[in-house]
Structure 1
Amino acid sequence: MTLSPARVRILVVALLAVSFLGALDHTVVSTSLATMAGDLGALEHMSWIMVGYTLAATVMLPVLGKLGDVVGPRSVFLVSLGLFLVASLACGFAPDLGWLIAARVVQGLGSAGLQLMSQTIIARVTSPRQRPRYMAVIGTAFPVAIVVGPVVGGLITDFWGWSWVFWINIPVGLAAFALALVAVPRLPGGAHPRFDIPGSIVFTGTLVALVLAVTWIGDDALRPAALACAAAAVVGILALVAIERRAVEPILPPRILRNRTILACLGLSLIVGAGLFAVVAYVPTYIQMAYRTTATVSGLVPIATVLGMLVSNLLTGWLVSRSGRYRFYPVFGTVLGAAGLATMAALPAGAPLWVPMVVMAAVGIGTGSFTNLIFAVVQSAAARSDLGAVTATTNLVRQVGSAVGTAIVGGVVGFGVAAALPVGLDADTLTPAVVRAASPEVQDAVAVIYHDTFAPVFAGLALVYACGIVFALLLPGGRLSDEAPAPLDAVTDAERQPV
């Protein structure tokens, strides 16, 4: 379907608004967690406010992607936005933690649909050459949410109360919904009308078990449950293989995994999740402990990373849309990311704070140069009837990589710090405030411990980006086509090849 330039701009504004709402709810709640859990009398279970949202947003990606291919992305998008708004309203009225977690699960499901269908709709109404520019604009939602989310959440909680963290979505969401009704075109469903219900159920259950296993494995009290979930995930994978081999239209079509371009992009998506997202989660702790800064100052390093990512994301999208050539940017980005993380590993203890800020900004620039670009490339290599499935798979690989990478980094840091702490300090109760109140000798010792613990972490993540260089080099060259999108019934097998 071909839209006028003005209609496309209105569509991008609508998709950006709802994508920002979904991305913001990943970050805005973080500064309100303790207040929410304390008011509801369940501090020991407050992590589930975040886990429930993230879990739903991850495991439903393939199901929603396939559903978008079957019934059309507009329907899934509007239903997801409706669910998100209803769940936001329910979150604010939650009388207890169980209610809040259940509402957050529904909210996460809606968020997954918004993110995924925004990318799919853009792919359906633009040419491959136009796509990088629009994907870059929509992709700004997540880095901006990382920067402003915690600040906005804290201000709302302090001045209005934590319920408004959720209720603030309603007026913005309703305006976006009205705009989406007008702007989002009616796109037909896919060429494969059958939906793989058994595969969807088993896949979702397997992924839930896998994510819970990764999330809980670092907690001594939850380790038996984590091992049980890991065993369930193995059984689920075996069952899924058996089911999908017989399915007429499997939830993850094998045909999309036989394409070199798609496989290379999936590898690059994994690098973004396991590399950047894993390290950004722990960099503030590293800066606070190794550089003995306040929490506010420690946020400057991830902000520098995100700003670098934001600038390079927009610039790359614009450049690729002009030339159509894309292969250079993933190669450049992974090389720069690997070099930056290797530099972080080699930094001496006591280096000025501006040094890690500059280095991590370079890592952000490298990562941003291919973070959203790979969606445009992977969509150009898929059949139009598989756009939802291939977009969902790319997002899913990134989310799983983030969960696994974050769990591994957290485990390594926790074990390394606990093993090296001097007598009299307990890793379970060690906070930046405790360290700042200690003697200068203890502060120096803790700073060295955190520096020495994170050095191999940065080195390991540099190796992850080095693997990304291989994926980038395996990416076939060529140019993205500037041909207008064809109607669905004109799709042929040739569209499954890279363009």
Structure 2
Amino acid sequence: MTLSPVKLRFLVASLLSVSFLGALDHTVVSTSLATIAGELGALQLMSWVVVGYTLASTVLLPVLGKLGDVLGARRVFLASLVMFLAASLVCGFATSMEWLIGARVLQGMSSAGLQLMSQTIIARVTTQRERPRYMAIIGAAFPIAILVGPVLGGAITDYWGWQWVFWINIPVGAAALAFALAAVPRLEPGPAPRHFDVAGAGVFTASLVALVLAASWLAEPDAGVATATAVAISVLGFIAFFLIERRAPEPIIPLHLFANRTIAASTALSAIIGVGLFSITAYLPTYFQMAYQTTATVSGLVPIATVFGMLISNLLTGWVASRTGRYRIFPILGTVLGAAGLLVMAVLPAGLPLWVPMIVMGFVGMGTGAFMSLIIAVVQGAAPATQTGTMTATINLVRQVGSTVATAVIGGAIGSGVAVLLPAGLDAGRLTPQLVHAAAPAVQSAVAGIYSSVFTPIFISLAAAYALGIPAAVLLPSGRLSDEPVSAPRTPSETLSA
């Protein structure tokens, strides 16, 4: 479907506003968690406010992608937005942590639909050549939300109350809904499946839930049995899913498409983004507070520099790729830059001025942004028009799963590594930056050395993950993105008459 330039800009503005709303909801809650848990009296369930949201937004991606292909991206998009607003209203009225967690699960499900359908709609109304520029604009919602979300959430909690962290979505989302009703075109859905892959969807969802739960429990010392059980269920489930998909007439994840070199390489690159960068950003403030003796506020400058580099690079490479039609060089340069930057982080001595690691991590962010949104556009061009939503979901899925699992592994490595190396008299469970900063200089130096030694192999491992992405980027086919309009998916009658 081809839109006029004015209608296309109107559509992109609408999709960006809704994508930003969904992305912001994930980051804005972080600074209000302690207040929420205290008022609802369930500190032990605090992490599930985030885990429930992340779990729901991850496991439903393949199902939502398939529904977008079958029912039409516009219908799924608008339904997700209405559900998101309703869930936000329910979150604010929560009187117990269980109530809030349930509502956050609904928010996560609807947020996944908003992000995924925004990308799918862009794919349906643009050419391959135009797509990187507009996909980069939509993709900018995530890094911007990371930058402003925690500050905005803290301000709303302090001045209005934590309920307004959720209720603020209502007026903003209502305006976005009116905007979307006018801007999002009616797109023809693909042919209805003769057999919806219910077995594949159910087994995949259960296996992925088990995997994410195992990753979440990995750092908890008293959850060994539960973690092992979840891992076993996940492994057996994915084996069963693979067997089901090989025989399914219309699989929810078409495994045969991974024989396409573009799709296979792009999927690997997407996983590397989740493993190599998204997993470490949450731990950078702790690292700099302990190893560089900075305050909590100052330590946040390094993740900000990382995300800012990602944002600028994402927009720049999307614009250049659309203008020139060339795209293969950006993943190659991006993976090289990411690997080199993380390797430099591994060898930086603690105690350097903070601007040094800020610049280094800024380059890592730039390397990641160089192909973060670009590979989604490339995969959409390589996938059949009838499976655009499915493959868009898959490329997002591997990124989120990679980030979730790697985050849990890194958290466990930090916790166990610090506990083993701490000198006698210091309890790892009670070690805080404030306690370390108030300790004797010798203790401060010892703790800084411990954190440096623990993080060094982590940075090296993440650099290796980016290095593995270099051959994947090289395997991407060369050539130019096409200027041909995207054809609508054929209906069964059209297929028979062709």
Structure 2 CA distance, aligned partners of 1:243 and 1:457? 36
Question: How far apart, CA to CA, are the structure 1 residues paired with 2:203 and 2:490?
Answer: 31
Matches within 5 A, 1:38-57: 38-57=38-57
Is the contact between residue 246 and residue 255 of structure 2 (CA under 8 Å) also seen in structure 1?
A: no
Q: How far does residue 201 in structure 1 lie from its aligned partner after superposition?
A: 1.4
Alignment of 1:131-210 (within 5 A): 131-194=131-194, 195-210=196-211
- d(CA) in 2 for partners of 1:63, 1:378: 18
Which residue of 2 is the match for residue 402 of structure 1? 403
Report the alpha carbon displacement of residue 424 of structure 1 after superposing the two structures with TM: 0.6
Partner of 2:36: 36
Q: CA deviation at 1:415?
A: 1.4
1:79-478 to structure 2, matched below 5 A, reads 79-194=79-194, 195-478=196-479
Residue pair 1:218, 1:411 contacting (<8 A) in 2 also: yes
CA contact (8 A) 2:436 2:443 kept: yes
| Amino acid of the structure 1 residue aligned with 2:172 | V
Taking the aligned partners of 1:448 and 1:242, their CA distance within structure 2 comes to 49
- CA shift for structure 1 position 234: 2.0
Match of residue 19 from structure 1? 19
**Residues matched between the structures, number:** 491
Distance 2:339 2:242 in 1: 35
Per-residue CA distance 1:370-424 (angstroms, 9 max, x = gap)? 0000011011101000100100000000001001111121111111111111111
Determine if contact 1:192/1:249 at 8 Å carries over to the other structure: no
Code of the residue aligned with 1:65 in structure 2: it is G
Measure the CA separation in 2 of the matches of 1:486 and 1:469.
Answer: 33
Measured after TM superposition, the shift of residue 188 of structure 1 is 1.3
- Per-residue deviation at 1:235? 2.4
**Cα pair 2:386 2:490 within 8 Å, conserved:** no
Give the Cα–Cα distance (whole angstroms) in 2 for the partners of residues 488 and 293 of structure 1. Answer: 55
Distance 1:34 1:148 in 2: 19
Structure 2 counterpart of 1:86, one-letter code: A
Contact 1:192–1:385, Cα closer than 8 Å, also in 2: no
Report how far residue 229 of structure 1 moved: 1.1
Provide TM-score, normalisation by structure 1.
0.97
> What is the SS of the residue equivalent to 1:50?
helix
Q: Please give the TM-score of this superposition, normalised by the length of structure 2.
A: 0.97
TM-aligned CA deviation for residue 490 of structure 1:
9.0
Match of 1:225, SS state, is helix
Q: Name which of structure 1's ranges 153-162 and 343-352 shifts more when overlaid on structure 2.
A: 343-352
1:436 partner letter: H
Structure 1: 5+ residue runs without aligned partners?
492-499
Identity across aligned pairs (percent)? 65
CA distance in 2, matches of 1:245, 1:272: 28
- Counterpart CA distance in 1 for 2:441 and 2:298 is 20
Q: 1:246 Cα shift?
A: 2.8
SS in 1 for 2:221: coil
Amino acid at match of 1:55: L
Q: Report if aligned partners of 1:217, 1:227 keep a CA contact under 8 Å in 2.
A: no
Give the ranges of 4+ consecutive aligned residues of structure 1 lying more than 3 Å apart after TM superposition. none
Task: Determine if contact 2:91/2:163 at 8 Å carries over to the other structure.
Answer: yes
- 1:105-139 CA-to-partner distances (Å, cap 9, x unmatched) read 00000000000000000000000000000000011
Q: CA–CA distance in 1 between the matches of 2:491 and 2:225?
A: 53
Cα drift, residue 243 of structure 1: 2.5
Tell me the CA shift for residue 349 of structure 1. Answer: 2.3
Task: Point out the more displaced range, 198-207 or 323-332.
Answer: 198-207
Paired with 1:415 and 1:234, the residues of 2 have a C-alpha distance of 25
Deviation at 1:206, TM superposition (A): 1.0
1:192 deviates by 4.8
Query: Which residue does 1:495 correspond to in 2?
Result: none
**What CA deviation, in whole Å up to 9, does each residue of 1:426-485 have, x standing for no partner?**
111111011111111111111111111111111111101000111101111111101122
For residues 322 and 240 of structure 2, the distance between their equivalents in structure 1, rounded to whole angstroms, comes to 43
Deviations 1:154-185 (A, max 9, x none): 00000000000000011111111111111111
Secondary structure at the counterpart of residue 337 of structure 2: helix
Contiguous gaps of at least 5 residues in structure 2 = 493-498
Name 1:494's counterpart in structure 2.
none
Across the aligned residues of Structure 1 and Structure 2, the Cα RMSD in angstroms comes to 1.1
Distance 1:123 1:72 in 2: 13
Provide the rounded CA distance (Å) in 1 between the counterparts of 2:292 and 2:406.
24
Q: Which moved more, 1:481-490 or 1:265-274?
A: 481-490
Q: Are the counterparts in 2 of residues 7 and 183 from structure 1 also a CA contact under 8 Å?
A: yes
For 1:219, the aligned partner's letter is E
Q: C-alpha displacement at 1:345, in angstroms?
A: 0.5
Q: In structure 2, how many angstroms separate the alpha carbons of the residues matched to 1:184 and 1:196? A: 28
Which stretch shifts more, 184-193 or 70-79?
184-193
Whole-Å Cα distance in 2 between the matches of residues 245 and 374 of structure 1? 26
Deviations 1:475-499 (A, max 9, x none): 11111101122232299xxxxxxxx
